[in-house]
């Protein structure tokens, strides 16, 4: 009997122990799931409430005190400022340096010779900036050269523009081409199409409100360091020779130079010859003679530049994940600028610095992301996404297999209106996030409400271009990507007028648009870094692929070509996407 009671006592104690262990495990697990997700109200709201326009304005003011072209001493100072900021927040910080080929101007002149014997040397520097440290307007990687010839207006330099010129009897061979930016072509494409038709050199202008502004830019073809195509251009690493055909094909065969709209107007008003097509005259924003040329004035155009090795600096802050440290959510912005860069790119840099500040605050409150967050400050983007491309090439295998997402912000604020671009699996998440952010231009409305009202529904663009640092991540490493802008464009793009003064007077006087973009960017990363199940929805991806398949089918009507493999694959993707989403909702 004593033995039986002893066994019973032991059984009750054992049952009690395991019951308590089960209850403890249950509540520990419940507590874990309640507090490990980024939708945890406390951290989510703490991030939103910690926004201040003052800090964003302060960061931008400091970043834009001096011009900071990649490869120069002021650019290094800007890199050190970003590094110091990350370190002051006790974030794990490091710098990746690369030795790359950059390009700088030495001398340029454009002299007009009129039929009456008079001569005019065009001013090539924006008024008031001759001794400011701002680089003279130029096209990076343009070859040096001299050209003497009659000017001819080429419109945007597209194929159909040359067809129109030929129909008007204009022969462009031997001319100095005058082209305006736009028309869907890159600078490189404009110059190379002109060279293919025998044009001696190209002068390029941008239409806009600032007639004295000159848009600098690169004319190199492709992304990344031309001396290390396909591999990271680490210091003392392998490089191609400058005269290697793979290097030479990256650069145009004729020289070019950007000029102001005011300078272009002087040339265009002096042209004779056949009349411009009506569509060209109607769309031009500057005064012209209404003629195409060539001549009768002559242009003597000389450009001398140098290509030289320079060190560029990518700066990183890492917040290591607590449960999936080998999965990365990357937030990136480039830091280098052609001039002061208040819009392009340092409105985005200010936002990145503020996100770092707010994440550091969350960490002091006890937050730690489930997955690793990496804040990336790129260098030499303006020369052709060089800093980001070299890093992607160096880390390609890890990025392709371990990256959750790359979230890019280049020009955070250009003007009014929210303009996101994503790969389709982000559509639903982005829409959800915008419902949590106050609209900066409409009191009492969320960003979502203003965005849908302005666009009459949700309009999210796709990332088909290669015009910012998302390009190597998406197109080379295959990492799902987002690119965010506030404002479609701005009139001081790549000019000396892209300054803090322009931002406070025109772009975002109270920095509320900065606050909105920073909020969307930071909350996207929080969700991607912390949700136990990644908040991707591939149904929009499948639907878009099915739409493109239908378009392709119509184009191929009447041809004996079967699209069944594509159709079957997209249907399978749609079914799998629905099944995955349903399963995620049931968790």
Q: In Å, how far are 45, 125, 137, 199, 218 from 130, measured between CA atoms? A: 48, 6, 11, 30, 21
- Helix (H) or strand (E) run with residue 404 in it: strand 403-413
Name every residue whose Cβ is closer than 8 Å to that of residue 554 and which is 6 or more positions away in sequence.
none
Contacts of 292 (CB under 8 A, 6+ apart): 152, 153, 165, 168, 170, 271, 273, 274, 275, 276
Q: Identify whether the C-beta of residue 423 lies closer than 8 Å to the C-beta of residue 463.
A: yes
Show the DSSP H helices in 499-538 as ranges.
Answer: 500-502, 512-530
Token pair for residue 252?
């145009």
CA angle (324, 326, 330) in 5-degree steps:
100
Token pair of 87 as six digits? 């370190």
> Within its chain, how far is the Cα of 333 from the centroid?
7
Give the CA distances from residue 563 to residues 307, 484, 546, 574, in Å, rounded to whole numbers and listed in that order: 48, 35, 11, 17
3-state class of 31 per DSSP? helix
Nearest to 354 by CA among 530, 529, 535, 511: 511
Q: Is 127 exposed, middle or buried (0-12, 13-18, 19+ CB in 10 A)?
A: exposed
Using CA atoms, how far apart are residues 86 and 359, in angstroms rounded to an integer?
Answer: 11
Residue 176 token pair: 């100095």
Number of H helices, E strands in the chain: 19, 15
Radius of gyration of the chain (CA): 28
DSSP helix/strand/coil, 517: helix
Cα–Cα distance for residue pair 384/338, rounded to 1 Å? 12
Sign of the torsion formed by the C-alpha atoms of 426, 427, 430 and 432: negative
Contacts of 277 (CB under 8 A, 6+ apart): 164, 168
Catalytic residue among 192, 265, 381, 390: 381
Task: Report whether the peptide linkage leading into residue 296 is cis, meaning its omega lies within 30 degrees of zero.
Answer: yes
Q: Is the peptide bond before 348 cis (omega within 30 degrees of 0)?
A: no
Check: CB of residue 310 under 8 Å from CB of residue 384: no
**Both tokens of residue 258?**
């950007």
Query: E-strand spans in 392-546?
Result: 403-413, 418-422, 481-486
Catalytic residue list contains 265: no
Residue with token string 């009447």: 558
Q: Which residues does the annotation mark as catalytic? A: 381
């Amino acid at each position: 009997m004593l033995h039986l009671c002893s066994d019973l006592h032991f059984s009750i104690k054992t049952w009690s122990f395991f019951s308590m262990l089960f209850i403890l495990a249950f509540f520990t697990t419940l507590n874990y799931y309640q507090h490990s997700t980024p939708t945890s109200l406390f951290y989510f709201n703490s991030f939103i409430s910690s926004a201040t326009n003052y800090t964003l304005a302060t960061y931008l003011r400091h970043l834009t005190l001096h011009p900071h072209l990649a490869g120069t001493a002021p650019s290094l100072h800007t890199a050190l400022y970003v590094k110091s900021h990350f370190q002051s927040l006790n974030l794990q910080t490091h710098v990746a340096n690369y030795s790359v080929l950059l390009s700088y101007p030495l001398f340029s002149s454009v002299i007009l010779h009129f039929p009456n014997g008079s001569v005019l040397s065009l001013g090539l520097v924006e008024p008031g900036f001759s001794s400011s440290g701002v680089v003279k307007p130029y096209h990076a990687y343009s070859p040096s050269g001299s050209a003497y010839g009659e000017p001819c207006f080429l419109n945007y330099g597209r194929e159909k523009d040359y067809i129109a010129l030929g129909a008007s009897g204009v022969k462009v061979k031997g001319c100095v081409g005058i082209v305006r930016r736009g028309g869907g072509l890159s600078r490189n494409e404009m110059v190379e199409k002109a060279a293919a038709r025998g044009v001696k050199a190209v002068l390029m202008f941008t239409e806009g409100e600032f007639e004295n502004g000159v848009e600098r830019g690169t004319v190199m073809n492709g992304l990344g360091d031309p001396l290390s195509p396909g591999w990271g251009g680490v210091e003392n690493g392998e490089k191609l020779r400058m005269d290697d055909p793979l290097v030479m094909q990256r650069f145009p065969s004729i020289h070019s130079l950007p000029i102001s709209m005011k300078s272009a107007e002087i040339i265009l008003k002096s042209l004779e010859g056949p009349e411009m097509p009506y569509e060209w005259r109607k769309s031009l924003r500057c005064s012209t003679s209404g003629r195409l040329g060539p001549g009768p004035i002559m242009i003597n155009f000389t450009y001398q530049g140098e290509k030289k090795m320079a060190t560029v600096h990518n700066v990183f802050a890492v917040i290591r994940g607590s449960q999936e440290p080998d999965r990365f959510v990357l937030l990136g912005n480039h830091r280098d600028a052609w001039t002061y860069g208040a819009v392009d790119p340092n409105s985005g840099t200010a936002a990145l610095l503020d996100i770092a500040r707010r994440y550091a605050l969350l960490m002091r409150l006890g937050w730690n992301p489930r997955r690793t967050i990496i804040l990336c400050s790129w260098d030499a983007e303006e020369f052709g996404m060089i800093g980001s491309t070299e890093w992607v090439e160096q880390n390609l295998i890890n990025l392709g297999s371990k990256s959750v997402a790359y979230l890019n912000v280049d020009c955070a604020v250009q003007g009014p209106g929210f303009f996101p671009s994503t790969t389709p699996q982000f559509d639903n998440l982005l829409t959800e996030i915008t419902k949590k952010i106050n609209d900066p231009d409409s009191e009492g409305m969320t960003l979502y409400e203003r965005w849908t009202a302005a666009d009459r529904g949700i309009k999210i663009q796709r990332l088909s271009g290669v015009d910012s640092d998302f390009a190597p991540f998406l197109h080379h490493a295959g990492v799902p990507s987002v690119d965010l802008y506030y404002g479609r464009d701005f009139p001081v793009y790549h000019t000396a007028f892209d300054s803090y003064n322009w931002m406070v007077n025109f772009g975002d006087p109270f920095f509320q648009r900065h606050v909105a973009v920073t909020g969307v960017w930071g909350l996207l990363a929080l969700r991607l870094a912390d949700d136990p199940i990644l908040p991707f929805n591939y149904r929009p991806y499948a639907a878009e692929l099915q739409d493109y398949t239908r378009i392709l089918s119509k184009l191929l009507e009447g041809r004996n070509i079967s699209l069944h493999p594509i159709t079957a694959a997209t249907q399978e993707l749609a079914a799998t996407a629905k099944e995955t989403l349903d399963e995620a909702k049931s968790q």
